[in-house]
Structure 1
């Protein structure tokens, strides 16, 4: 089940909200837990047992670590066991086939591997269980003794399958002491509708363009078409993933939770470093807290800092998928972040902002080529086409058609990638009270209506980050 589906919006969500609000306080987490298990099991009934095992195992090991805190040997052994088991489950389902394929290739073997479907959201909820175990072991948070509350944290459907990654310390108090109110619920509805519109009206529509160009043989694509396609994907993945995150944050507010912001207009960045402070914020925060800082961060000398950066970026790429293109994608951005720390950031500060922005967008767009193509040969050839290193035409009738039919959509995408729409809404709410009361709700209702109309007949409705 996905948020941008009619069955979720008009059946699952209303029933869950109604049940949640009519239940007494002590049953609200139980309602969320059951609803979340139904949500997850809707498409993957078998893997629901895997998630339940991971939840119960992490809950028990957390209790044991807390009980034997005075005995470092036992608490460390249980901590290591928990980390190994959780990472082992993730690696088995996500990386086992990749490992065997590479062993076969290197040693010319023919080991048969039955590749299992990747459990949706396993990368996200594994990181959540690990953040809890790590913080309990380091005594940063109190152990959760209520298994219903802990299960709610791990399985909570708003952020279960594609984040944002919620660290236990950020939500511990909210699990048992949150307060729902009409104002927060209304704000949650607004954010959910915005996210839905991003996904259905923007990401899906520009995704059709990229899907068409991507499926065209490279020899038949003009240079302009190649750029239009990958720029289209650049917008698609942003509005797809940020739309999902907005919907997750909005749903969280409906149930009294405050989830962290996951995107902050990344395409207005003027450096790659700034871009990664604005893109997938929860993932960057997780790696910074649980990998970069424990490795020593930037406090152990420049060379080791750069080593730590490349370790983090290797893991960031590998986290996204069991394929060499994701590893190269991570190291690609690790390279630019590192050279910016060495000298490039200082150089960019002395240049006009326009130059910094163009440089950043160029690096990002090329990076998305690495991200999107799992074949490195196709990836390299596509980049060659983009930069005119093949014999492809600069412009053809197909490219002109793409421009003509998508120019308005591109303008809307550019505007919506900036804070301008949000600033306009905030201005209306602050200074035009009558308009705020009448017009703003009508706009949200219109967005919901149009999005629903698209969903009725829409056949192209993927969530790109579900596969990670």
Structure 2
């Protein structure tokens, strides 16, 4: 039933392009079965390579073909050759996510043939499970297979799942969507209209928007998974409270960063082949990480930008950071991340550098035609400060709720108590309030898709 619902969900939005997902499922099921056969190491390695190549061919064919041709197109034009032309290719939603899940499945089966799934519907559900189909988390097959084998959706799971879902919905609708209105207006301004204060407001708002947009989706996916008896991994751990770029990537989009670590960085050699090889592998991984996010040179520069800071921290900068006060290291991390987000948000490299120039005092606007109050209203400011408060207290609040509830359970055992009733009443009043505000905002607002669904 879940498989049928997931495929229907995807086909409803993608129409005939749902065939790409079905083709990917069929290829990976067959390759996984052949890898696990007793045909020897050579056959297993051959099928692994074939499976990975097929997955990357689908991903590159739909997501990067136009990018590669246009990049060559610019070069061809520069040497006065006739440029290539290509029609706009539709990028199937979530193709980066289900492709990476498929590759991790094949590699895990190669490492442990007993993991190969014999039932095609189970592998199909792993790749198409609708809560995480569009934007992750990128869970590994053993985790999902374990839940499929012993799936138990009790009332407590359903309650906790819907609670997490509505928290994520509130993040997306009440904070990210509201901030996106001002962000879109500011980033649409030309260099001649943009002022330094507006540039800083825009990137500050976007820094919160992208976090609450993506972590909101993750919360909704984890919550829906819990309702159906699945336990998806956490994808965020208060990343903006990090004190270095290395720590940031251990806390931001955890499923993607660990995927690159386990299936690319470590197989390349990791830190086992000397310092300079390690630095080279870091740059390769983060350039590919940037390219994974989108077929645009801005994403490549964004990945390279983070890779360069990781190199610097490996070369000793992290030791100097450790000697600085906490507020200095937090400020350093936020500054690096915000500058990086400019490349992530901008449409072109030129636009990104123009925006950065405006941020650092080289703005062309006079502040008369376009000023802060014109693009930032009370709702945006309320969402901004609410986002900062949630960002600072989110992890602390969740730990407090869990610890308090656990202590109440231990005090009274299975018997309900007045303390438990009051505690749960406050919690559910808060969740219901967020749910009500979110529904009202959705009813009154415009369509605003998740940022990461386009990757």
TM-score normalised over the length of structure 1:
0.90
Which deviates more, 406-415 or 232-241? 406-415
Matched, 1:173 2:146: yes
> Residues of 2 paired with 1:112 and 1:91: CA distance?
17
**C-alpha contact 1:203 1:237 (8 A) present in aligned 2:** yes
Indicate the residue corresponding to 1:155 in structure 2: 128
Contact preservation (8 Å) 1:310, 1:335? yes
Alignment of 1:55-74 (within 5 A): 55-68=25-38, 70-74=39-43
Cα deviation 1:126-154 (Å, max 9, x = unaligned): 01111111111122651110111111111
Moved more, 215-224 or 346-355: 215-224
1:189-208 to 2 correspondences below 5 Å:
189-208=162-181
Q: Tell me if structure 2 keeps the 8 A contact 1:190–1:250.
A: yes
Write the deviation string for residues 421-452 of structure 1: whole angstroms up to 9, x where unpaired: 43554466456523213221122112111111
Look up the SS of the partner of 1:111 in the other structure: coil
By how many angstroms is 1:115 displaced? Answer: 2.2
Deviation readout 1:169-225 (Å, 9 max, x if unpaired): 332221222222111221111110100000001100011111121222221122111
Runs of 4+ in 1 over 6 A off after TM superposition: 394-397
Residues 1:435 and 2:422 are matched in the alignment: yes
Note closer, same or farther for the CA distance 1:186–1:141 as it changes in structure 2 (3 Å cut): farther
Pairwise CA distance, 1:460: 4.2
Q: Tell me the alpha carbon deviations over residues 356-380 of structure 1, each in whole angstroms, 9 at most, x when there is no partner.
A: 0111100000100010112111110
Given the alignment of the two structures, is residue 411 of structure 1 paired with residue 385 of structure 2, yes or no? yes
CA distance in 2, matches of 1:140, 1:348: 44
Note if contact 2:243-2:329 (Cα within 8 Å) is conserved in structure 1: yes
Is 1:445 aligned to residue 439 of structure 2?
Answer: no
8 Å CA contact 1:135, 1:141 repeated in 2: no
Conserved? CA contact 1:33–1:152, under 8 Å: yes
Other structure's SS at 2:189 match: coil
- Which residues of 2 match residues 213-228 of structure 1 at below 5 A? 213-228=186-201
Q: Following the alignment from structure 2 to structure 1, what is the Cα–Cα distance between the partners of residues 370 and 400?
A: 38
Q: Does 1:105 align with 2:74?
A: yes
Q: Distance in 2 between matches of 1:96 and 1:342?
A: 36
Deviation at 1:255, TM superposition (A): 0.8
| 1:277-320 deviation line (CA, Å, top 9, x unaligned) | 11100000100000000011111111111111111101100101
Task: Give the distance between the partners of 2:87 and 2:195, measured in 1 at CA.
Answer: 39
Is the CA contact 1:262–1:282 (under 8 Å) kept in the aligned structure 2? yes
Alpha-carbon separation, structure 2, partners of 1:59 and 1:32: 18
- Local SS of the residue matching 1:45: helix
Gap regions ≥5 residues in structure 2: 409-418
Go from structure 1 to structure 2 and tell me whether the alpha carbon gap of 1:265 and 1:438 turns closer, same or farther (over 3 Å shift). Answer: same
Q: In the alignment, is the contact (CA less than 8 A) between 1:204 and 1:460 conserved in 2? A: no
- Deviation per CA, 1:263-290: give whole Å up to 9, x if none: 1111111111111111100000100000
Question: Counterpart in 1 of 2:451?
Answer: 464
Decide whether the 8 Å contact of 2:182 with 2:376 is kept in 1. no
Higher mean C-alpha deviation, range 108-117 or range 310-319: 108-117
Report Cα offsets for 1:41-68 as digits up to 9, x if no partner.
Answer: 1111111111111101110111111113
The question of whether the paired residues in 1 share the 8 Å contact of 2:195 and 2:364 is answered with: no
The alignment's C-alpha RMSD in Å is 1.8
Show structure 1 runs of 5+ residues with no match.
Answer: 1-30
